[in-house]
Amino acid sequence: MSALLLPVSATLVSAPLRLGPVELPNRLFVAPMAGVTDRPFRMLCKRLGAGYAVSEMVTSKRELWSSLKTSRRANHDGETAPIAVQIAGVDPHEMADAARYNIDRGAQVIDLNMGCPAKKVCNVWAGSALMSNEPLALRIIQAVVAACAPLNVPVTLKMRTGRCASERNAVALARAAESAGVALVTVHGRTREQGYTGLAEYDTIAAVKAALRVPVVANGDIDSPAKALAVLRHTGADALMIGRAAQGRPWIFREIAHFLDTGTTLAPPATKDVSAWMLEHLQDHYGLYGELAGVRTARKHIGWAVRDLPGGEDFRQTMNMLDTCEAQVRAVSEFLGQLEEAHPHWPANAGPHPPCTTRHEPPRHRQLHPQDTATVLPGPGRGDAACRARDDRLRGGEAHAGGGDGAGRRQPEPRSRMAGHQPQYPAAQAA
């Protein structure tokens, strides 16, 4: 057990955080992750120490609300309060309607997605693309705040640091959002251009924190208690949001809370406890998705959990061939039962993020020590020029014409307009 002298402020993550009428029990949040943070996973994380969990984004497109996918995303049956729903879209009126629709279905907080780089659900200017269009972003914020205020529902905003390294406008947008009535701002320390490449930087998050009176949440690459402490110290943020590091390791929230509260490292969980959590999670998961989709989508959660275990990769491959709930549960139960005999405590606690599943993942096993809060800021360069050129083309409606590289040279158009423009989320499907 390592002991560490902690600043008083670092212990604040265990303190409640008030958002208008809603009280969050602590300041460790699960990041919204499409295809991952469904209701069963959010509940698992809350049970294991997360104070708050935002749903996967729900589109503002009314015609999609009755789709199976959206209705599953809007499912909050039995979910521990507070219930927060993230909405994504580009039309202020549609976004206001989407907010009201989700409030009718139990949302107590509405989160606006201005951080998503994915094409699939958002169209060109939705998600993080809105950061490049501050007037539209602000109109959306104002419309949603106006819809939510009479219902006493706080509105929060999730964004990136900016469009690209040379255009980080998070502070300006966050200030405008605060003036428009947003109750909390989360900043993922990457630009839209970065997608999931490179490393998150925390200077911009610190600047946003310094500029706002409402709470600011730091997000990006927090994958261990030591990193959580370093990010808190560097940014002065009011709360931390954790995404990928919770995949397969949802107990990271209580590990971080314990470390920040006591300065000591929590022992790895008992293998039998992890086994019980996983099996309960599976049952809850099947309950939401049914057998066919349930078995298939559960594979990624199981894969993330076992991948660092002895024999984990072989098990993952075998398990991927099973197609009934019963067979999947039996396999997991047997595998973890055998593991428990050799390892009464979970043996795979050292790795931070689950290993790379796509080329967008940051390097593994990166540790930022409390005293080592150096940030990595990609300097202006080809990426910035390309970023500008692409956005200029989109603004000018020339998406299908060849563009320049910012220096007057023509470049071949990417295969799809978005293929070279919008990085996708790391695959959540692949275990």
Structure-token pair, residue 294 = 């349930």
The closest residue (CB) to ligand FMN is: 243
User: β-strands 22-24, 17-19: how paired?
Assistant: antiparallel
Of the candidates 97, 179, 174, 91, the one whose C-alpha atom is nearest the C-alpha of residue 131 is: 174
User: Which position has the token pair 């640091």?
Assistant: 161
Closest distance between ligand FMN and the C-beta of residue 318, in Å?
Answer: 24
Alpha-carbon distance of 233 to 368, in angstroms, equals 12
Task: Select 158 or 301, whichever has its Cβ closest to ligand FMN.
Answer: 158
Residue 116 annotated as catalytic:
yes
Task: Select 34 or 298, whichever has its Cβ closest to ligand FMN.
Answer: 34
Task: Select 10 or 242, whichever has its Cβ closest to ligand FMN.
Answer: 242
Closest distance between ligand FMN and the C-beta of residue 311, in Å?
Answer: 26
Closest distance between ligand FMN and the C-beta of residue 305, in Å?
Answer: 16
Alpha-carbon distance of 180 to 203, in angstroms, equals 24
Closest distance between ligand FMN and the C-beta of residue 160, in Å?
Answer: 8
For the CA atoms of 89, 94, 97, 101, the dihedral, rounded to the nearest 10 degrees, stands at -50
Do residues 186 and 177 touch, judged by C-beta distance below 8 A?
A: no
Alpha-carbon distance of 361 to 198, in angstroms, equals 8
User: Which position has the token pair 């809350």?
Assistant: 46
Interface residues with ligand FMN (CB under 6 A)? 31-36, 56-57, 86, 113, 115-116, 158, 188, 219-222, 242-245, 425-426, 428
Residues 6+ apart with CB under 8 A from 98: 58, 59, 60, 62, 87, 89
User: Which position has the token pair 């469009």?
Assistant: 163
Task: Select 339 or 418, whichever has its Cβ closest to ligand FMN.
Answer: 418
Assign 3-state DSSP to the chain and report helix, strand, coil percentages, each to 5. Answer: 40, 15, 45
Given 45, 116, 325, 387, the catalytic residue: 116
Task: Select 51 or 403, whichever has its Cβ closest to ligand FMN.
Answer: 51
Closest distance between ligand FMN and the C-beta of residue 293, in Å?
Answer: 17
Backbone φ, ψ for residue 8 (5° rounding)? -55, -40
Active site residues: 116
